[in-house]
Amino acid sequence: MQQIPVWWRWYYWASPVAWTLYGLVTSQVGDKNGNLEIPGAGNMPLKQFLKVELGFDYNFLPAVAVAHIGWVLLFFFVFAYGIKFLNFQRR
């Protein structure tokens, strides 16, 4: 996320796809301490690489779960509103 221009960061935080990728990567490999060989930089633990290079923190996983629940509720209420009030099949 550090490489995203400042004026586009709001879109990153408002994107359900970004939250999903954050959750998937963090939950699957965010707690691993195996070493990565990075050419020119030496060895680095995977957990540290995710935090430093990609900005993925394993301790942020509960917030990601809450964000997913929020997205589901938002889409549910928008769908329910659309079904109730935006019925275009009236005659």
- Per DSSP, the residues of 8-32 read GHHHHHT-HHHHHHHHHHHHHHTT-
pLDDT at 11: 87
Give the global pTM.
0.77
What is the number of other CB atoms lying within 10 angstroms of the CB of residue 46?
15
How does pLDDT run across 7-44, given as a tens digit for each residue? 888 888 888 999 999 999 999 998 888 888 878 777 88
| 7 membership: H or E segment, kind and range | none
Distance between CA atoms of 77 and 71, rounded to whole angstroms?
10
Q: Are strands 42-45 and 35-38 parallel, antiparallel or unpaired?
A: antiparallel
